[in-house]
Structure 1
Amino acid sequence: MGRLWDKYMGTRHPDSGVTPIPTMELRTALLALNGTGVPFGVRDAGASGSDLLAEWRVLEPATGSGASRRQVERTLKIWMRMLPGERVVRAMDEQWSVTRAGNPPGLTVGRERGRGPMRSVHKEWTFEKGPDGRRHKVESFSLDTRDMKNPLRDTVTGAGWTWRGVHRL
């Protein structure tokens, strides 16, 4: 059951032979992801019980018009706590979404919050007229949580540490 649970939670171990780096170097490497073109930011988590927080805010395209216009704002967070004695980073995923209505969007009509492993891909397409005069399906919006999690997890495992997904820090 332990291996199955680890797989579900997204636990990854470093490759064999990788020498673990010190805690402060790993922290610096995770904070250095900020300037590399990733769609999220990593910062100090403050007094929240974790060490670092990766946060990604996404505003999905609006649908509808007038009073029936809806727009969803998603906030994806990964809280990270480093355990130097075990060389483990415990990571808890959290997702918030707020649906707003109206034009401009002001009235909140729905809120959702979830905690646990984030694995979602959300895509939207539109049809546009191509050069040949025919309609073509074109991707207009894409959100893949792997774009956030993979760089963090790769940095941790590349540093010789284990990435362990958890429900509570």
Structure 2
Amino acid sequence: MSPSRSSDSPPAPQPGVPPRPPAEVRAALLALDRPGTPCTVRDGGPEGVDVVAEFVLVKLTKDGLFGRRQYCESFQVQLRLVPESYEVRAVDVHTEYTLSGDKPRRRTTSRSRGQLRKKLVGYEFTPGTRERRETYRFDSHDLKAALQHAVAAGGWTWHPVTFGRL
């Protein structure tokens, strides 16, 4: 999921390429969800949008006196297809939250919305040594680049949303 981009502007559709129907653009976006990748691309019905691309990270898990507690972080790109103008409107949502108890309840601790850039890298230390090994790497730039290329290939434009509704 990481086509390279030389600039920060989203790719434009090729001139002369007719825009594809919304169902085909949506299918192309959902096709980016592949096993073995750290991100998922899924239907955005629960969030009230068309498609959601998401990276979820469980940062720390503790077993304590009051049960299990997980500290988590998620980064979402929420997408809405606007067929009238052949554009995909996108907003980023970063959330840090805690899951606690036997039947996990979610408590949000912080939430950001807009056009965000997030880089996350995790390491695992080798027992008995000072060596560390990278266990995961996430850059929101790579995730959005893959989404933008799928949109442009369908003849649509990418419209980032900072304030307001999708």
Q: Same fold (TM over 0.5)?
A: yes
Query: How far is 1:24 from its partner?
Result: 1.6
Distance 2:149 2:10 in 1: 9
Post-superposition offset of 1:73: 0.7
How far did 1:120 drift? 1.3
CA offsets 1:72-117 (integer angstroms, 9 cap, x no match): 3112222211122221100011111114689x9x798870101011
Segment drifting more, 53-62 vs 152-161: 53-62
- Cα distance change on mapping 1:125 and 1:47 into 2, 3 Å: closer
**Matched residue, 1:3:** none
Q: Tell me how many residue pairs correspond in the alignment.
A: 154
Alignment partners' CA distance in 2, 1:100 and 1:166:
29
Which runs of 5 or more residues in structure 2 are unaligned? 1-6
1:13 to 1:135, Cα distance in 2 relative to 1, 3 A: closer
SS at match of 2:147: helix
Could you say what secondary structure the match of 1:98 adopts? strand
| Counterpart residue number, 1:162 | 157
Structure 1 residue matching 2:55: 3-state secondary structure: strand
Write the distance in 1 (CA, Å) between the matches of 2:82 and 2:105.
Answer: 42
Q: Deviation digits for residues 106-158 of structure 1, max 9, x if unmatched?
A: 798870101011211122334437xxx97434223433223432221221112
1:120 paired residue number: 118
The alignment yields a C-alpha RMSD, in angstroms, of: 3.5
Aligned with 1:41: secondary structure?
strand
Give the share of equivalent positions with the same residue, in percent. Answer: 29
1:11–1:162 contact (8 Å) kept in structure 2 = no
Query: Which residue is 2:40 aligned to?
Result: 40
The answer to whether 1:138 aligns with 2:136 is no
Q: Specify whether residues 31 and 16 from structure 1 end up closer, same or farther in structure 2 by C-alpha distance, changes over 3 A only.
A: closer
What's the counterpart of residue 3 of structure 2? none
Shift of 1:61: 4.2
Sort the Cα spacing of 1:16 and 1:34 in 2 relative to 1 into closer, same or farther, 3 A.
Answer: closer
Distance 1:148 1:66, change over 3 A: same
Q: Distance in 2 between matches of 1:160 and 1:125?
A: 40
Aligned mates of 1:11, 1:166 — CA distance in 2: 14
For the structure 1 residues 71 and 23, does the alpha-carbon distance in structure 2 shift closer, same or farther, using more than 3 Å as the test?
Answer: same
For 1:42, give the aligned amino acid. R
Match of 2:30 in 1: 31
In the TM superposition, what are the counterparts of 1:71-86 in structure 2 within 5 Å?
71-86=70-85
Larger strand share, 1 or 2: 2
Bigger CA radius of gyration:
1
The one-letter amino acid of 1:138's match is R
User: Does the C-alpha gap of structure 1 residues 36 and 125 become closer, same or farther in structure 2, counting only changes over 3 Å?
Assistant: closer
